[in-house]
Amino acid sequence: MYSPVQWGSLIGVFLPLIFWAFSKQFPKIAWLKLVHWPVLLTATSCMPPALPYFFSNGLFVGFIFAYLLRRYRYRWWSRYIYLTSSALDTGVALAGMVIFFGIQSWGGRMPHWWGNPDIENGDVNARAWDHCGLSAASFS
């Protein structure tokens, strides 16, 4: 049951060494020195269990705000990033409160739609990664 942990330990030992060797071999590629595998692997272990597209949404928003806007619109980024970050965090907190107090605390159930399948009752499409209700629809 826990045999993958042994492989994970080996990967955790050798992955930083591989990137260190690449950074010595290719000194002109600056981003190789910035990859910190212990931080990346620890961060992924702290993520809650969720569907894969939840993480891609966070990576997409992070790429836009942490890379594109900072690089190409630095004045806007330096002025509004704190406000934008606070707004996103507040939106998550308020949505969590609405979901808990408005639905779950009254014994209700979350509505099921293509973005929130009813996995407990087996309402999952044949394709595990595609939860769009229109994917199996025939348009004839």
pLDDT tens readout for residues 48-81: 666 666 777 778 888 998 899 999 999 999 999 9
Q: Is the pLDDT of residue 123 over 60?
A: no
**Cβ-contact 46, 25 below 8 angstroms:** no
Q: Indicate whether 111 belongs to any domain.
A: yes
Distance CA 125, CA 135 (A): 9
Residues 60 and 102 in one domain: yes
Q: Indicate whether 126 belongs to any domain.
A: no
- SS3 of residue 116 by DSSP: strand
**Domains identified in the chain, total number:** 2
**Cβ-contact 35, 15 below 8 angstroms:** no
- SS3 of residue 9 by DSSP: helix
Rounded to 10 degrees, the C-alpha dihedral 77/34/37/10 comes to: 160
Model confidence, pTM:
0.47
Write down the pLDDT at residue 53: 67
Q: Indicate whether 130 belongs to any domain.
A: no
